[in-house]
Structure 1
Amino acid sequence: MQSSIEETIPAGDAGYKPAGWGELLSGKNGLYALALAGGVTLHAVNMYIATTVMPSVVQDIGGMDFYAWATTLFVVTSILGAALTARLLKSAGPRGAYVVATLLFAAGTLISSLAINMPVMLVGRSVQGLGGGFLYALAYGLTRVVLPERLWGRAIGLISAMFGVATLIGPAIGGIFAEYGAWRAAFWSLLPVSGLFAVVAFATMPRSSWDKNERVSIPVLQLILLTGAVLAVSAGSLSQETLWKIVGLGAAIFMIAVIAVVDRDAKARLLPRRSFSLSMPLGALYLTIALLMLSMQPEIYVPYLLQHLHDQSPLWAGYLAALMAIGWTVASFLSSKWQEKGGDKLVVAGPILALAGLVLLAIFLPVHGNGNWSLLAPVCLGLILIGFGIGLAWPSLVTRVYQSAPSTEQDLAAGGMTTVQLFAIAFGTACAGMVANFAGIAVPGGVEGAANASLGLSVIFALAPAIAIAVAFRVNRITGGKG
C-alpha cells in the first residue's frame, strides 16, 4: 500500500530507532493503535468463545466428526479474506474496509448463533472467518502504513497481546454460557461489540491510504489450490479407512507443490518472488512462521480433552486451554523489548520451548486424572510453554519479514505473512481433525478415544517445532541478525 497520508512517516523517521510504548499509545498513533488492536481483539475473542463452546455445540446439535471443520473452514475463509484485503483497501480505503469486514463478521456470528445443525454452523463460521480474515490482515497490513518504522515492533507486540486479552474474555463468555446450556448467547454477545467497533474504526481510520492507480491482482488459482489442500485433508479425516486419509494428505501435499510452481511465474502472486526457496530470507522466515503455527493446533481439542480426561467444567477447560495464548501474550511483550539486542536468540529459543511444551502434553494430557492437579499442573505448563515459545520468536520474525521484502513487494510480503500463518492454522486444524478421528475421538469415543487422541495430537505435532529449530538457525544466518 502506497500511503497518501502525509503524517504517516514524518521527516526524519526513515531510519529505525527504538521507541517506547508511550509514543505508540499517545496522540494520533494511539488512535491508530486502538483501531488496529481492536479488530484483532474482536477476532481473537470470537476464536476463544468458539473453542470453548464447541463441546457444548456438538452435544446439542451433533456433528462430532466435523468438530475440527468448524475451525478449519473458519480459517480457510480467513485466508481468502486476508488475500482479498488489498482489493478491499483499494476499493473502500481503510475506513470502509474495516466497516465491511466488521459487518461480515457480525453476519457470520448471527448465523452461527442460529444454527440448528452442524452444516448451518459451518456456514456461519465460514462467513465469520471471511470477516475475521479481513480484520486480522488489515491490522498487519496497515501497521507499516499508519505508523513509523520505529514503532513497528511495539505495534506487532501490541497486536499479538490482544490474543492475551482475548484469553481473559473469550473463555469467560463461552464457558459461562456453555455451563448454563446457552452457547448461542455466547455468539449473540459479540453482536453489539461488533457494532461499536465498526463505529470506532470509521471514526479513527483514514479515508484513503492507497494509490488508486496501483493495480491489485488476486492469485485466484493459488487460492483455489490452498483451499483444496485444506479441504482434502479435512475430507480424508472423515473416513475410517487409513487409505483415504493418506490419499487426502497426499493430495494436499501435491497441491502445495503445485502452488510453489505456479506462484513462481504468475503475474498475480500469493507471495513475493523466491518465497518458496529456503536459500532466501523470506522463504526461511515464512517456513518458520508456518511451523510455529502448526505447533499450537492441538489447542482446538484441548477444551474437549480437559472436560473428558480431567473432569474440568466448560469454563475452566476454556481458561486452561487459553494458557497457550497467555504465554504468547507475555512473551510478545518481553520479546518486543528484547529483540533489539537478542533477536537471533529469540528466534531459536521459541521453537525449543514449544517443543518442550508438546512433550509435556504427550506425557500428562492422555492420563485420566479426575481433576488431579499433579497431572493438570504439567499440562498447564506445557500449554504455557507452547504459547510462550511462539510469542518469543514472533515479533522478530514479523519484523524481519518487513525488512527482508524488496521495496516493490512490501505489500505482498505483509499480506503473504498473514496468508502463511492462516494457511498453517487451517492445514494444522485439518490435520488435527484427521489425527483425532484416526485415534478414535469419535469412535469409540469416551475416555479411551480422548486419551488416544491427546497422545496422537501431541506426538505428531511435536514434529513441527522440532523442524522449526533447524530452520531458525538458517533464518539467523541469512537475515543478518535483523530485528
Structure 2
Amino acid sequence: MTTEREVTSWREFRDHLGVAIVLAGGVLVGAINIYLVGSLLPSAVADIGGERLYAWSTTIFSVAQVAGTLAVSRMLSLRGTVGSYLIGFGVFAAGSVVCAVSPGMAVFLIGRGVQGLGAGLLTGLGFAAVYVALPPSLWVRGTALISAMFGVGTLVGPAMGGLFAQFGLWRAAFVVLAVVGVAAAGSAPRVLPKSDDRKTPAPVPIVSLTLVVGAATAVSVAGVVAGVAAMTLALAVAVASVLVFLVWEKRAVQRILPLATYRSGSPLRWVYLTIVVLSAGVGVEMFLPLFGQRLAGLPPVVAGFFGAALSLGWPVSQMLVASVQKEATIRRLRVAGPLLLAIGFLGLALLQRSHVSSPMVLAWLPLLFLAGAGIGIAWPHLSVAAMTSAPDPEEGQKAAAAIATILTMSTAFGAAVAGLLVNLGGSSPVNSARYLLLGFAAIAALGILAAHRVNHTRLIPDLRNHLVDLA
C-alpha cells in the first residue's frame, strides 16, 4: 500500500488553528467525561442512591456513544459540518445538564445516555471533519491531534473528577461540562468551513445499525454481569452480531462501512483490523491501578498514574511521528505499532510477582509507555490510510467517520475481554495480571499480521490531489 505524501509542519496549523481546536475539543470533552465520571460516581451514588445501577452508567454511555458515531455520516448529509457540530455539542451539553440536576439514578442514567450520544457524534465528526475541513497535507497531523485527546482525557478526567469529588461538588462538574459544550458550540460557526457539504442522505441502513448497536450492547453487558459464563455468553453474542454484520454489509445496498472494505484487493479491511487491535489494547489500562495497589502496595493516587503511563505514550509518540513522509518509514511504523504494544504487554507480564519490589515497579513505567507508544506511532498513518483507501470523496468521508465507530467498539470490546481475562485469574492477583497481559500481547501480535497485510495490499487510486477542495 503506497501512501507517500506531502506533510506540512505543525506551524501550518496556524492557518487552521480554530478548526483544529473545535475538532480536538469535541473529542476531548467526551474523553474527559469518561474518566471524570469514574471519579465522581461514588459521590453521586452516595447523594442520590442507586448503587445497584452503578455499573450501568458506563454501559449506557458506551452503547449511546457507538450509536452516535453511527449517525455521523447521515448527520453531515443533513446538516453539514457546522450544523452537525452544533447538534453534537448541544446534545452533549443537554446530557450534562440532566446529570447535574438528577434527583435519582434513573434520571442520571438518562443523562448519561444523552451524553454518550453527543460524545459519539463529536468523536465521529472529529475524524470525518479532518477529511473535509483540513487540506490533505494536514490529515496526518489532524488525526494525530484529535486521537491524542484520548490520552489527554485519561490524565485530565480523573484529576478533574477527583477535585470536584474532594469538595463534594459532583453536580458542578457536569455544569462545567455543559458550559464547555455550549461555548464550543458558539465557536463552531466562526471557525469551521462555511461551505455547504450537505447532500441528499441515503436511506438509513436499519439492519446494519441494529447489528452494530446490538454488538455494542452485548459487549457492554459483558462488563457488568457476574460470572465468567455470563460474560463469555455476552461476548459470544457480540462476536456473532459482528460476524452477521460483516456478512450483511458485504451484500447490502446501504451500508455503514465503505464499499472498499469488502472489495477484493483493498487494504481497508486490514487497516480497520489493525485499528481494532490497537484500540482494544487500551482496555488493559483500567486494571493497571488495581494491580499497582494489590501487587506493589502503591497508594491509589500513585497507582492511577501508573495506569496513565500507557495513555501518555499514545499522544507523545503521535506528535513525534506525524511529520513522517517517506513511504518506507510509514510502512515500518504501521508494523512497529502492534509490535511495540505486544512487547510492552509481554514485558509487563514477565514482571508480575506477588510482592513487587520498588525497582521492579519503576520498570513497569517504560514498558507501559512503550505499549502506549505502539498505539501512537501507527494510529495517524492508519487513519490516513483509511481515508485514502476509498475511491471517491463520499466514500472517503464515510471511511473517516467509520474510524470513530471502530474505535469505540474496539475499546468497549477490549474492556470486556480484559474483564474476562482478569476473572480467569480467580482470587490470585498475580495470575489475573499475567492472564490479562499475556492475552493482550497475543491480540497485539495479530495486529502485526494485519499491518503486514496493509503494507502488501494494493491501494485503490489515491484521488486526494484530484478532488475539489471540500473545505
Please state which band the TM-score falls in when normalised by the shorter chain.
Answer: 0.7 to 0.9
CA contact (8 A) 2:214 2:238 kept: yes
Q: Secondary structure at the match of 1:404?
A: coil
| 1:326-385 CA-partner distances (Å, limit 9, x unpaired) | 11111111111235351011001111111122224434467455xx64343233223212
User: Does 2:342 match 1:355?
Assistant: yes
| 1:238-263 CA-partner distances (Å, limit 9, x unpaired) | 55554433332222222111101111
Aligned residue identity for 2:441: A
CA contact (8 A) 2:345 2:441 kept: yes
How far residue 410 of structure 1 moved from its aligned partner, in angstroms, is 1.4
5 Å-filtered alignment, 1:165-314, equals: 165-180=152-167, 182-212=169-199, 214-236=200-222, 238-273=224-259, 275-276=261-262, 280-307=266-293, 309-314=295-300
Match of 1:467 among 418, 430, 446: 446
How far residue 131 of structure 1 moved from its aligned partner, in angstroms, is 0.6
Match of 1:402 among 373, 387, 390: 387
How far residue 313 of structure 1 moved from its aligned partner, in angstroms, is 4.9
Compared CA separation, residues 30 and 237, structure 1 to 2 (3 A)? closer
CA contact (8 A) 1:163 1:326 kept: no
User: Does 2:3 match 1:24?
Assistant: no
Q: Unaligned regions of 5+ residues in structure 1, if any?
A: 1-14, 441-447
RMSD: 3.2
How far residue 31 of structure 1 moved from its aligned partner, in angstroms, is 2.1
For the residues of structure 2 that align with 1:315 and 1:439, how far apart are their CA atoms?
A: 25
Equivalent residue number for residue 430 of structure 1: 416
Equivalent residue number for residue 469 of structure 2: none
How far residue 120 of structure 1 moved from its aligned partner, in angstroms, is 5.2
| 1:204-261 CA-partner distances (Å, limit 9, x unpaired) | 223453243x333332211211222233344455555544333322222221111011
Compared CA separation, residues 245 and 159, structure 1 to 2 (3 A)? closer
User: Does 2:372 match 1:387?
Assistant: yes
Compared CA separation, residues 241 and 143, structure 1 to 2 (3 A)? closer
For the residues of structure 2 that align with 1:110 and 1:321, how far apart are their CA atoms?
A: 30
Match of 1:124 among 87, 105, 111: 111
- Equivalent residues, number: 456
CA contact (8 A) 2:79 2:198 kept: no
CA contact (8 A) 1:65 1:437 kept: no
CA contact (8 A) 1:76 1:129 kept: yes
Aligned residue identity for 1:226: V
Q: Percent identity at matched positions?
A: 35
Compared CA separation, residues 238 and 328, structure 1 to 2 (3 A)? closer
Q: Secondary structure at the match of 1:271?
A: coil
Q: Unaligned regions of 5+ residues in structure 2, if any?
A: 465-471
Equivalent residue number for residue 413 of structure 1: 399
Q: State the TM-score, normalized to the length of structure 2.
A: 0.85
Compared CA separation, residues 133 and 237, structure 1 to 2 (3 A)? closer
How far residue 450 of structure 1 moved from its aligned partner, in angstroms, is 5.4
Aligned residue identity for 2:257: L
CA contact (8 A) 1:48 1:318 kept: no
Compared CA separation, residues 339 and 187, structure 1 to 2 (3 A)? farther
| 1:426-446 CA-partner distances (Å, limit 9, x unpaired) | 222233344445555xxxxxx
For the residues of structure 2 that align with 1:58 and 1:360, how far apart are their CA atoms?
A: 38
Equivalent residue number for residue 467 of structure 2: none
Equivalent residue number for residue 86 of structure 2: 99
Compared CA separation, residues 375 and 466, structure 1 to 2 (3 A)? same
CA contact (8 A) 1:240 1:438 kept: no
